[in-house]
Chains A and B, each alone.
Chain A
Amino acid sequence: MNQRQLTHAEPVDEQEIFSLTRPDKNLLQLYVLYALVTMVAFPFVMLPLYFRYRTMRYRFDTEGISVSYGILWRKESYTTYSRIQDIHVTRNILERWLGLGTVDIQTASGSSTAEVCIVGVRQFDNIRDFLYARMRGVKLKGNETNVKSNSSDNEVIETLRKIKEDLNAVRQSLETKRND
Chain B
Amino acid sequence: MIEKLKEFLAPLLKIDLTAPHIPAGHENDTYLRAVRASPRFLSMRYTLLSLYGCMWLLLILIGTIVTVFIPFSLWLLTPLIALIIGMKVLLMYITTRIDYDMRWYIITDTTLRVRYGVWAVQEITVSFTNVQNVRIVQGPVERLFDISTLIIDTAGGGNADRDPYAKGHRAILRGIENPKEVRDMILTVLKMNRETGLGDPDEKQISQVFDSEIKNELKLIANETGMLKQIFTSSVA
Distance between A4 CB and nearest chain B CB, rounded to angstroms: 10
Could you say which of B66-74, B77-85, B143-151, B202-210 contacts chain A? B202-210
Q: Chain B contacts of A5 at CB under 8 A?
A: 18-19, 34
- B120 nearest in chain A by CB position: A92
Interface check A43, CB cutoff 8 A: no
Q: Chain B contacts of A93 at CB under 8 A?
A: 13-14, 119-120
Q: Chain A contacts of B218 at CB under 8 A?
A: 160
A110-B157, A136-B127 given as contacts; is B201 within 8 A of A161 (CB)? no
Judging by beta carbons under 8 Å apart, are A3 and B32 in contact?
yes
Interface residues on chain A, size class:
35 or more
Could you say which of B40-48, B50-58, B134-142, B223-231 contacts chain A? B223-231
Q: Chain B contacts of A72 at CB under 8 A?
A: none
Could you say which of A21-29, A30-38, A44-52, A126-134 contacts chain B? A126-134
Q: Identify whether the interface residues of A are mostly helix, strand, loop, or mixed.
A: mixed
Interface string of A139-169 (1 = CB under 8 A from B): 1111010011110010011001101100110
Interface check A76, CB cutoff 8 A: no
Interface check B130, CB cutoff 8 A: yes
Distance between B225 CB and nearest chain A CB, rounded to angstroms: 6
Interface check B169, CB cutoff 8 A: yes
Judging by beta carbons under 8 Å apart, are A85 and B19 in contact?
no
